[in-house]
A and B are shown apart, each in its own frame.
Chain A
Amino acid sequence: AQRVTQPEKLLSVFKGAPVELKCNYSYSGSPELFWYVQYSRQRLQLLLRHISRESIKGFTADLNKGETSFHLKKPFAQEEDSAMYYCALLDAGNMLTFGGGTRLMVKP
């Protein structure tokens, strides 16, 4: 069975500092990976997906199949980035498996 691990429950950085939210996965097939974000009092929403290879709100994530990782990065954190971030894997059966989430706090 697939598994998604986010080792940090909480990540606290100062505004302008680089951010890296870690995500590791285990899956026997070819995964499709996502980052979802939940801002305060808002619903869960898609931030980015690895197949798009795009940068959203300054965030990027690269799929590393060798290390089975999909870390989320941003070079300069902003206060409005403070939120819960979830890494998720979509399997061949279209089932989405989420990690436990990382709360990012960006301090002024």
Chain B
Amino acid sequence: ETGVTQSPTHLIKTRGQQVTLRCSSQSGHNTVSWYQQALGQGPQFIFQYYREEENGRGNFPPRFSGLQFPNYSSELNVNALELDDSALYLCASSFWTPMNTEAFFGQGTRLTVV
């Protein structure tokens, strides 16, 4: 068990609503990344936080936002939900150094937008 936990495991929302997904990182990890995995595809990078600051972002619109807290937890917020936002959302944490780049993944939150 890697120590990265996500909540909730499943969620159903209506188009136009807002959603918050949560991730509890492994203790001591300074970096958290979020990914969107559509059915049958590989994970796509949304953004990354390092020591509570966003330090990288993929090709996702601003309605995808996040936070990282001092207690190693983080959130992914999505506003104005669209049907295409239905996917598995993965959180990954790591203690990033140039020589240690392994990411530890959570089990994911499956979001369905109807």
Contact = CB atoms under 8 A, between A and B. Distances in A.
B58 A95 contact: yes
Nearest to B4: A43
B42 interface: yes
Contact of B101 (A44, A49, A86, A98): A49
Contacts of B101: 32, 49, 90, 94
A69 interface: no
A33 B54 CA distance: 23
Nearest to B47: A95
Contacts of A95: 45, 48, 56, 58
Given A44-B90, A46-B102, A90-B101, A101 B41 contact: yes
B60 to A, nearest CB: 12
B105 A98 contact: no
B108 A96 contact: no
A85 to B, nearest CB: 10
Chain A interface residue count: which class?
20 to 34
Contact of B33 (A4, A45, A49, A96): A96
A88 B103 CA distance: 11
A98 B106 contact: no
A108 interface: no
A96 B102 CA distance: 10
B69 interface: no
Interface string B36-74: 000011111100101000011010000000000000000
In the A-B complex, the 3 residue pairs with the closest CB atoms: A98-B42, A44-B105, A100-B42
Interface of B: 2, 4, 31, 33, 35, 40-45, 48, 50, 55-56, 58, 90, 92, 96, 101-108
Interface of A: 4, 6, 9, 32, 43-46, 49, 86, 88, 90, 93-101
28 contacts: A4-B42, A6-B42, A43-B2, A43-B4, A45-B104, A46-B102, A46-B103, A49-B102, A86-B42, A93-B55, A94-B31, A94-B50, A94-B56, A94-B96, A95-B48, A95-B56, A95-B58, A96-B45, A96-B92, A96-B103, A98-B42, A98-B43, A98-B44, A98-B45, A100-B40, A100-B41, A100-B42, A101-B41
